[in-house]
Chain A
Amino acid sequence: MTYLTKPKLHHPTLKTNKVGYTRRDYEGKISTLCAGCGHDSISASIIQACWELDIQPHRVAKLSGIGCSSKTPDYFLGSSHGFNSVHGRMPSVLTGANLANRELIYLGVSGDGDSASIGIGQFAHIMRRGVNLTYVLENNGVYGLTKGQFSATADAGSKSKRGVINRDAPVDTVSLALQLGASYVARSFSGDKKQLVPLIKGAIAHQGAAFIDVVSPCVAFNNHEGSTKSYDHVREHNESVNRLDFWPTRDAIKVEYGEGTVIDLPQHDGSILRLRKIHAEYDPLDRVKALNYIAEHQAKGELVTGLLYIDPEADDLHAHLNTVDTPFNQLGAAELCPGTGPLEKLNASLR
């Protein structure tokens, strides 16, 4: 951490986006995490993604639980709505908020402890309900705040900073999200912003449950030899299956790729996800094959990253519940409580 606040001065060529903000306007308070923490890079990627998407900061709600990762919403989008919930309970608070106001952009930020241990149940249900959100799991494999014990996502056989070998099987949150019905599933690495920023943009544009597992090295407790979540290990074993480019509209597509297969995936909001395949055989539209592919490569010690699965036709919780288009928080007492007459009518129709 630093004691200084980041100086307000900026590069003379710093640009403003369509809604009139510079990238610096999407920053939050100065991070109090350890120097070199991968989480800070993820914060920077979220900032970059929101700036590029011309999002108005007050249209975003960022929610988190407890942990190093869950502190980070304080360090980005300083002008957005925020809620720091109970440990592992971010999903239910977010679901409630989303039900009350479907118009905000929801950003759930969590860690491996928050999502894979204490909050694994909550995680499961927010995915299967298809809540329209971007769930960013900042995954470092250790409990940093309590000095580096293995978390539930630590790989079996990996070594702690003190030299202890982990004997327990890991929770693979990506496979879990796929099984539970998430409609946008990706994995990335905090040290690769070129991959991560478009994935966040795609997730925000996606109208359904979007999940990104971001491996984020803990420099203080999990960046040593024998760790499978260190900068060096991840760089060495990273198997990126595709590269994503995000285009806000169909007209905006400028770049044409000369080689490799390219798939364009139009989204509900009119934006285009353009995937450039790196592994030709990988099909991100097939949930079952994706699960197998991830499992096969995991067995080989490889970390599969990129956009792993997307359902372009996805819908969300509000579609499942057939709610009205107007957000609940904008409905008046008359609409929410129509009185005994309509109740009688309803009861009668069920008799």
Chain B
Amino acid sequence: MNEWLDPLLLSRWQFGLTTIYHFLFVPLTIGLVTTVAIFQTAWYRTNKAHYLQLTHFFGKIFLINFAMGVVTGIVQEFQFGMNWSDYSRFVGDVFGAPLAFEGITAFFLEATFIGLWIFGWDKLPKRLHLATIWLTAVGSIASAYFIIAANAFMQNPVAYRINEEKGRAELTSIGELLTNPIALSAFPHTIFACFMVSAGLIISVAAWHLARNQNLETMRPALKFGLWMMVIAGALTTLMGDQLSLAMVEAQPMKMAAAEAMYHTATGANASFSIFTLGTPDGVSELFSIRIPYLLSFLSTHTFDGTVEGINNLQEQYVQLYGPGDYAPIIWVTYWSFRWMIGLGIAHIMVAVAGLWFTRKGRRPQAWMWKIAIWSFPMSLLAMSVGWVFTEMGRQPWLVFGLLKTADGVSPNVSGLEILISLIAFTLLYGALAVVEFRLILKAVQKGPDPATVPDPVSGEIKHTTTVY
């Protein structure tokens, strides 16, 4: 068969493409719905007009984004069966349950209450209407928990036994599945990173308006909120990322070795963390690097004299355990995605810290500072994406670590041509929608918040215009 039409390769590209794309919208949905709920709560409590303006303004951006998250999400669920049917047969008994829970408990909640929020401004009492946005937020965050618990099974299989006769993994304890140590760290790490994405958006938008000296009454408080949110969520994301790397070293030592491109086991000072490495093109030897001694030991074990296993040593162990094969992921992908995630993360947290300093007590930063702040949003989104690229590429060659290889999970009966057709179709449609989405969000952002709604002089009531399609 023509090697271009390799179903495995094409299915992997399609899953990677559609997942990265889907996860551009989801973090913003999770982060923004919570932010909008906070703004609306602030308005409910204080009755200050600018909170309502911010609620509507960021609510509009949220909605443009939300639809994309929903429709691209269906693709994700269908793809397991369509492209990875042998995987589905193998894990369905274990992996299907959290997916079903996600639908039953989280997606229904989110999808129902978002409709009530959008169309319910003039139909529901103020307090009840506020509850609808919070329930939407709860639904979106709960969905993240279940899907991360499902993903954690692929990284670190727990709560299963293998049924040899049926050739599948079977669930032994739902409680153990949902408290997988990887899930317990990956979930808060991801959720706080979602808040960073939302904070990044708020900072970028506020900086754009404030640089033009417009919409000051809404954008000044928005900026302050965004900066604090970024610093707090950034600190928590870092803390949870640290927890996650400890759990990861336990479950997938190869991933940590690949993150550092460390071929030989090292202890203490030798377990150093390289910030930058220039290697020969074949990746075998190193020409130049900047290294921090002890740091990798500390990250992996929380001690300065810990031992971190190297790729070659692990490879030998795995050959003994699982038979001949290459058990290392693509090293340059894991090495650089890990660094870009951390580097971008730290960079935009620093931007936010600097922002708080330069805007303290109503000071006005210099013009060039706005130009940097505007990059907060793209930085946070990119950090999120490369973080997941690291997690998933670092799992290779396994689909379920130690149990099923990626090559063994693909649908045996779907032809390369069919997958090529779907890959092209998704690429074209997703590409076109990305352009439309980006322009619409940009237009909404540049237009700025609508003027404050003036309460009716007689009743003191604020008349909301019902959002209509």
B is a partner of A: no
